[in-house]
Structure 1
Amino acid sequence: MSPADDTASPDSVNTLPSAPVDGAVTSIPGAPPAATLSPDELTDLPDDRYLNRELSWLDFNSRVLALAEDTSQPLLERAKFLAIFASNLDEFFMVRVAGLKRRDETGLSVRSADGLSPREQLQRIAGRTQTIADRHARVFLDMVQPELAENNIHVVGWKDLSPQQRERLVEHFHEEVFPVLTPLAVDPAHPFPYISSLSLNLAVTVRDSPEGPEHFARVKVPDNVKRFVRVDDLIPDPDASDEVPAKAVFLPTERLIAANLEHLFPGMEIADCHAFRVTRNADFEVDEDRDEDLLQALERELARRRFGSPVRLEVADDMSEHMLELLLRELDVNPADVIQVPGLLDLTALFEIYGVDRPQLKDRPFVPATHPAFGERETPRSIFATLNEGDVLVHHPYDSFSTSVQRFIEQAAADPQVLAIKQTLYRTSGASGDSPIVNALIDAAEAGKQVVALVELKARFDEQANIRWARKLEQAGVHVVYGLVGLKTHCKTCLVVRREGSTIKRYCHIGTGNYNPKTARLYEDMGLFTAAPDVGADLTDLFNTLTGYSRKTEYRNILVAPNGIRSGIIDRINVEIERGRAGDERARVQLKANALVDEQIIDALYRASQAGVPVEVMVRGICALRPGMPGISDNIVVRSILGQFLEHSRILHFGAANEYWIGSADMMHRNLDRRVEVMVQVRDAHSVAEIRDMFESAFDARTRCWALQSDGSWVASPAAGEEVRDHQLQMIKRHRRRPERSA
């Protein structure tokens, strides 16, 4: 659910690099000439036709919060959505708000598409954020926490504990917590300490006597211990049995520390103690033109990220005015950037609560199935043999990643006939995890194959992990490259070159999601496997561009950003307009993405609506398009589906042209102008049918979703009392009954 991969980083105001990649399918077979819109034709679109992208993102996170409020969701899933909401909001401030503040402070008066200055956007964000932060806290305090207690899962305070529990916790404090605490005084000899981003802290005032002056100290809650202490682990529940599960009792670590402050300040009276948390600017840029070694430059900037300026200060809502003024002064925080939170700060820690072993309070475990094309048969055969029979479209998480994408790369690594593997890696695994994809590439290199890995070092918040993977790959003999200067390589592509008899054959995978087996179980994505010669030739040209000095300008069956995807999409929308005006009832545009922000694509969709062409948009997060405007967007509907899986695929359908495209690009400036993205046309009849079924389910009037209104609000649909169906559940059912495809 988190938008870390696609929706958090700001749109840079830098100019574009000089034509590093150009990818455009230059003609659409059988289509009339594209309808070119003159400047005069654009003037009848209203100035207020765009919604603000930042406020739209906050609306998205509010929809995540609505899932935590939804009592039809399993209880621990609701707690998880509270944690996701908090994590999303942290990243929004670190990147989006930080970017707006930088523009405002440097005097860049670049207005958003809806006409707001950076300062005006920050003012609206501040007001909206306090409202949803209050709502977020109240959902936990008034709804989720009491229901957890009813199910024998307790989040408690010090006063809620028995004398025996307190005694044992004092022992635990001295054994596990006290040794790593460092109280920092603030006085003429001790300057105010640096507060690291997202750390949880206690602001403490102490005095020598009831009449003596107060002294301020800061105590950081250690980030190398769990946020919650499991009290029941320290003192087992004597009433637990097979019929009655043991109580799960959680004490927040900051409450344990606050209850034992006298051990940190012996001989002093504790006057006041409140929690606070600072969020700092994590948005940085690497000067790739100046720095010869991108890896070293990025490591230097990552070190600087820790010292970014504050963009948000979260405080307990009962913090004294005097203490808040001190924090504002010492941290140099604007009062408008203060968020007052009732109850616990940093509810991302609820991921720990979600880990409780209570399967009845969670979604039923979902086990992905192997795609029928790759299923076990009496005579085992390789994925290469399967692809020689035809293309295969996989739909994760319904189709297993491990028995499709992972197996494809592992078989390529082990196959003596494979000569080369070329792959892009954007996010492949967490910093502490293992990556079967990376391991397979290492195995291939050690077996003597030519292996090229394009590792995107600038994948936000995965930079450290990708630096580690890059070095590991280099040590194994893999040719590691970092892409093109000024661009992020965000495409999801893998090319396998194999000798078959006297010929060389190429096998390809192009996807919408990362080569990450962990997120593939949680993110909804699609991937196309093909041995089509034109796609293989396209990927060969693309990798030559990414690794060398090629300036390929035309591709056969893929669209490539930064210069080819926007124009390719608009050309195809214009074809639908032309055919719709000619009376072709098949004219239609369907678009599924994480975000729809790009003004040129939005205007093209408005033109399609004005021409009577139905437009259906399914967007998970941000949408700047305003549907339902009379005479402008009457024929456009926008839906958002959130659920057990994070809707992540990017898919386009052009009805009259009968074209289906999947790929890595969202409809945003950064994706279309400042990233290397790839979209591929899906031509196989079986695969087309699967995408068509997905769209039919997503846009079914009975499907549970949120519908965007012309005023920018989102309304739950269908209305209460109407028949409701769950899109993701329908996808699970369809994939389970999908027959094995014949050769």
Structure 2
Amino acid sequence: MESDDQISSEGLVPSDKLAYLEDAPAAALVEDSMPGIADFNQPENFFNRELSHLQFNARVLHQVINENHPLLIRLLFCCIYSSNMDEFFEIRIAGLKQQIKYGRESVGADGRSPAQTLQALQEQIHELVSLQYELLNNDLIPALADERINFLRRTDWTPEQQDWIASYYEREISPVISPIGLDPSHPFPRLVNKSLNFIVELDGKDAFGRETGLAIVPAPRSLPRLVKLPAEISNGDCLVFLSSIIHAHADDLFPGMEVKGLYQFRITRNADLVLEEDDMEDLAQALRGELLSRRFGDAVRLEVADNCPEPLVNFLLQEFGLAETECYRVAGPVNLTRLMAVSALVNRPDLQYPNFNPSTPAELRHQDSIFEVIARKDILLLHPFQSFTPVIDLLRQAAKDSNVLAIRQTLYRVGAKSEIVAALVDAARRGKEVTVVVELRARFDEAENLELASKLQEAGVVVVYGVVGYKTHAKMILIVRREDKGLKRYVHLGTGNYHAGNARLYTDYSLLSCDDQLAEDVHRIFLQLTGMGKALRIRKLFHAPFTLHSKLIELIGREAKIVSEGNGNGYILAKFNALTEPRIIAALYAASCAGVKIDLIIRGICCLKPGVKGLSENIRVVSVVGRFLEHTRAYYFANGSAGPEGGEVYCSSADWMTRNLVNRVETCFPIEAPVLAQRVRAELESYLRDNTYAWSLLEDGSYTQVKAVRGEPAFSAQDYLLGQLTG
């Protein structure tokens, strides 16, 4: 007989990663929550996931021309777009190519094959590359020059500047650069992912009589890509690209030979990690092995200077096994991400956003014990407008408090040198029971997380890596403290990461509470992560991969039922980063057809088609791309309420994506204090009023920027929250 604290398998979305779409009990579970949603699960009702992802990157790029941003921030958005596209190629494009290469093509929810998706992506990406360099050359560089920030071409160097650059080359570059002539004993080198390189066309014979005509010059990764000239030889801030310096001294690399041409290029490789989990004995060891190969995965993109002769381009394409459609000719530096260095090289705060001071709730100011404050009431923080320091202080005080017996925490992205880690190390060294679930597979942070795990283990922290096959993406802290009435547990639940730097850039919610049932739920989830056994019943939290998916559909279905039966108002207001899960989308369509009004604030990918008559005419989708990275996941369900006082509010670590709801450990937690719930709803509603940084998704998949109508004042949700919450 099963106990009340265990859940039978029939009550859960099956843990098998495909079964949630195919397993009969799972399908029945969803149908019971919302009958008829399968009727909406048709290919024509979905946008393509990858094309929608690319649309988000395009919105980032369009911030370059949004003059509401300061000039150096517009340049930063140009760089962020490049960084985003690097990852898009390394993971998304690489994944499509892998499916095609190995014949594992699976049709997406929209009915497109990987080959069809890849072709459509390549066409749009070529257009975006042209737009990016047009904006750089025709908008950003002239605007920066007007502010006396100049990127100097070789033809513009004065004699004094030439002398200084020549000295810099001899001192800093020449000793570390290694040109490679191509001949039978010097085959084409294995070039590192995203590294800057040059292909050189030569004429003449070298000292050994070789006459190959070609060489490769890898730019040392240790060297800065931008060099600032001294003030005494500059008019304003003068910056020179490393590529220009190498180009100017190419003859020095090949003495006695004629350099007919030198052209920069960059190769992007598949950087996704593949772990054979069925055969794995040690996740950390397996991950270390895979990290060594990430830099040399299969090529997926060639970027090359647009003046590179066609025969050399074809040579490079053949060498990397790429097609012409995978070559991107650029009118400038091949790696614009490195332009992020400009902000550090020039001291121009007038061209940046002004600094601000995140506020701290009045209850936490000048208090000796954060535990006493949380014992009186729940605390809700919205970063970056409110400080992340209380979360750090919670751990610091827990480490030093002799009444604290144990600390448990999940870590996804944090950094080995963080104050969070220092507090955990301090707690362990003081003899407290500290257990940390480190998610080693946080993409592109794997090496740092391996270092982090080692540091914690050396201090005596018990480190586990979660559950093989399921990334631990939940953000949880549980602190056990001995008090007068016995043991008391305190929790932190968040929508973001335990990374103080990100908390200054990402919008995220943090809940600090000592609610007994909430703490018991967190305790039980930690038992699942660190031990083994049946899934335990979680009473207040929804958690993936078990109940979150079905609970969301149940809540959506409840709104539809309320409207259908005439029992009140049906309204859903939700904010998250991406919406791809087909059954969730089908449920939203069904709710819209039932008359439920639905407002979705989705920063990135959205596979739902809004505003389609007879399908989604009651659904609106808005994306906000502004100063801060929108990262909060918060959901409001009216539950028949017509006013701001009613309804239910939840915050979550999970987006409405298949990977979050099926392949990860996630939490969704209620905001129960009425004043806090009303506050979250009001903060969400501010994004619906944004006419400065908001974009509206149209039924054809395109986005249009929301603009103030005549007579309407400009409104930015982020600026509004800065004014409301910062000190």
TM-score in terms of structure 2 length: 0.93
Matched, 1:193 2:193: no
- For 2:248 and 2:128, locate their aligned partners in 1 and report how far apart those are by CA, in whole Å: 30
Contact 2:626 2:693 in 1 (8 A): no
TM alignment of 1:4-403, pairs within 5 A: 16=17, 36-38=33-35, 42-43=38-39, 47-208=43-204, 215-232=213-230, 235-237=232-234, 247-355=236-344, 356-376=346-366, 380-402=367-389
Please, which of 590, 594, 597 is the counterpart of residue 607 of structure 1? Answer: 590
Deviations 1:138-165 (A, max 9, x none): 1110000011011010111111110110
Contact 1:704 1:724 in 2 (8 A): no
Deviations 1:104-126 (A, max 9, x none): 11111201111111111111111
Matched, 1:698 2:699: no
Structure 2 residue matching 1:289: 3-state secondary structure? helix
Please report how far the alpha carbon of residue 291 of structure 1 lies from its aligned counterpart in structure 2 after TM superposition: 1.9
- For 2:552 and 2:217, locate their aligned partners in 1 and report how far apart those are by CA, in whole Å: 54
Contact 2:358 2:726 in 1 (8 A): no
Partner AA of 1:470 in structure 2: A
Partner AA of 1:475 in structure 2: E
Please report how far the alpha carbon of residue 454 of structure 1 lies from its aligned counterpart in structure 2 after TM superposition: 0.5
Matched, 1:685 2:674: yes
Structure 2 residues not aligned, in runs of 5+: 1-14, 21-29, 641-646
Partner AA of 2:671 in structure 1: V
In proportion to residue count, which structure has more helix?
A: 2
Please report how far the alpha carbon of residue 663 of structure 1 lies from its aligned counterpart in structure 2 after TM superposition: 1.2
Please, which of 665, 671, 677 is the counterpart of residue 654 of structure 2? Answer: 665
RMSD: 1.9
Matched, 1:411 2:407: no
Please report how far the alpha carbon of residue 333 of structure 1 lies from its aligned counterpart in structure 2 after TM superposition: 1.6
- For 1:177 and 1:78, locate their aligned partners in 2 and report how far apart those are by CA, in whole Å: 31
Contact 1:214 1:271 in 2 (8 A): no
Question: Residues 178, 490 of structure 1: CA spacing in aligned structure 2 closer, same or farther, 3 A cutoff?
Answer: same
Please report how far the alpha carbon of residue 44 of structure 1 lies from its aligned counterpart in structure 2 after TM superposition: 5.7
- For 1:652 and 1:671, locate their aligned partners in 2 and report how far apart those are by CA, in whole Å: 15
Deviations 1:277-302 (A, max 9, x none): 00000112212331211111000000
Structure 2 residue matching 1:667: 3-state secondary structure? coil
Q: Match of 1:475? A: 458
Contact 2:72 2:351 in 1 (8 A): yes
- For 2:431 and 2:42, locate their aligned partners in 1 and report how far apart those are by CA, in whole Å: 61
- For 2:101 and 2:17, locate their aligned partners in 1 and report how far apart those are by CA, in whole Å: 23
Please report how far the alpha carbon of residue 701 of structure 1 lies from its aligned counterpart in structure 2 after TM superposition: 6.5
Please, which of 419, 439, 456 is the counterpart of residue 456 of structure 1? Answer: 439
Q: Match of 1:426? A: 412
Matched, 1:643 2:643: no
Deviations 1:218-250 (A, max 9, x none): 1111111111011136x454xxxxxxxx61111
Partner AA of 1:228 in structure 2: L
Contact 1:181 1:220 in 2 (8 A): yes
Deviations 1:416-452 (A, max 9, x none): 10000000000002x6xx2100010000000000000
- For 1:291 and 1:610, locate their aligned partners in 2 and report how far apart those are by CA, in whole Å: 47
Q: Match of 1:580? A: 563
- For 2:18 and 2:525, locate their aligned partners in 1 and report how far apart those are by CA, in whole Å: 17
Please report how far the alpha carbon of residue 728 of structure 1 lies from its aligned counterpart in structure 2 after TM superposition: 0.3
Please report how far the alpha carbon of residue 18 of structure 1 lies from its aligned counterpart in structure 2 after TM superposition: 9.8
- For 1:690 and 1:43, locate their aligned partners in 2 and report how far apart those are by CA, in whole Å: 37
Deviations 1:85-115 (A, max 9, x none): 0000000000011111111111112011111
Q: Match of 2:725? A: 735
Structure 2 residue matching 1:48: 3-state secondary structure? helix
Structure 1 residue matching 2:596: 3-state secondary structure? coil
Q: Match of 1:724? A: 714
Question: Residues 399, 528 of structure 1: CA spacing in aligned structure 2 closer, same or farther, 3 A cutoff?
Answer: same
Please report how far the alpha carbon of residue 367 of structure 1 lies from its aligned counterpart in structure 2 after TM superposition: 1.8
Contact 2:226 2:339 in 1 (8 A): no
Please report how far the alpha carbon of residue 43 of structure 1 lies from its aligned counterpart in structure 2 after TM superposition: 2.6
Contact 2:597 2:619 in 1 (8 A): yes
Which shifted more, 701-710 or 106-115? 701-710
Contact 1:232 1:247 in 2 (8 A): no
Contact 1:291 1:297 in 2 (8 A): yes
- For 1:220 and 1:665, locate their aligned partners in 2 and report how far apart those are by CA, in whole Å: 41
Contact 2:356 2:726 in 1 (8 A): no
- For 1:489 and 1:134, locate their aligned partners in 2 and report how far apart those are by CA, in whole Å: 39
Greater relative CO, 1 or 2 (CA 8 Å, sep 6+): 1
Please report how far the alpha carbon of residue 703 of structure 1 lies from its aligned counterpart in structure 2 after TM superposition: 6.0
Contact 2:34 2:587 in 1 (8 A): no
- For 2:581 and 2:457, locate their aligned partners in 1 and report how far apart those are by CA, in whole Å: 37
Contact 1:707 1:715 in 2 (8 A): yes
- For 2:477 and 2:84, locate their aligned partners in 1 and report how far apart those are by CA, in whole Å: 30
TM alignment of 1:502-541, pairs within 5 A: 502-541=485-524
Please report how far the alpha carbon of residue 383 of structure 1 lies from its aligned counterpart in structure 2 after TM superposition: 1.2
Partner AA of 2:67 in structure 1: T
Please report how far the alpha carbon of residue 342 of structure 1 lies from its aligned counterpart in structure 2 after TM superposition: 1.2
Contact 1:35 1:575 in 2 (8 A): no
Contact 1:597 1:625 in 2 (8 A): yes
Q: Match of 2:10? A: none
- For 1:134 and 1:15, locate their aligned partners in 2 and report how far apart those are by CA, in whole Å: 43
Partner AA of 1:16 in structure 2: K
Matched residues, percent identical? Answer: 38
Matched, 1:621 2:604: yes
Please report how far the alpha carbon of residue 72 of structure 1 lies from its aligned counterpart in structure 2 after TM superposition: 2.7
Contact 2:182 2:212 in 1 (8 A): no
Please report how far the alpha carbon of residue 42 of structure 1 lies from its aligned counterpart in structure 2 after TM superposition: 3.2
Matched, 1:715 2:704: yes
Partner AA of 1:108 in structure 2: R
Which shifted more, 478-487 or 213-222? 213-222
Please report how far the alpha carbon of residue 551 of structure 1 lies from its aligned counterpart in structure 2 after TM superposition: 2.4
Structure 2 residue matching 1:312: 3-state secondary structure? strand
Deviations 1:600-648 (A, max 9, x none): 1111111110011000000111000100110110000000011111000
Aligned pair count? Answer: 693
Question: Residues 702, 321 of structure 1: CA spacing in aligned structure 2 closer, same or farther, 3 A cutoff?
Answer: closer
- For 2:18 and 2:705, locate their aligned partners in 1 and report how far apart those are by CA, in whole Å: 43
- For 1:508 and 1:343, locate their aligned partners in 2 and report how far apart those are by CA, in whole Å: 50
- For 2:41 and 2:534, locate their aligned partners in 1 and report how far apart those are by CA, in whole Å: 37
- For 2:691 and 2:68, locate their aligned partners in 1 and report how far apart those are by CA, in whole Å: 17
Structure 2 residue matching 1:179: 3-state secondary structure? coil
Which shifted more, 513-522 or 577-586? 577-586
Question: Residues 701, 399 of structure 1: CA spacing in aligned structure 2 closer, same or farther, 3 A cutoff?
Answer: closer
- For 1:213 and 1:362, locate their aligned partners in 2 and report how far apart those are by CA, in whole Å: 52
Structure 1 residue matching 2:44: 3-state secondary structure? coil
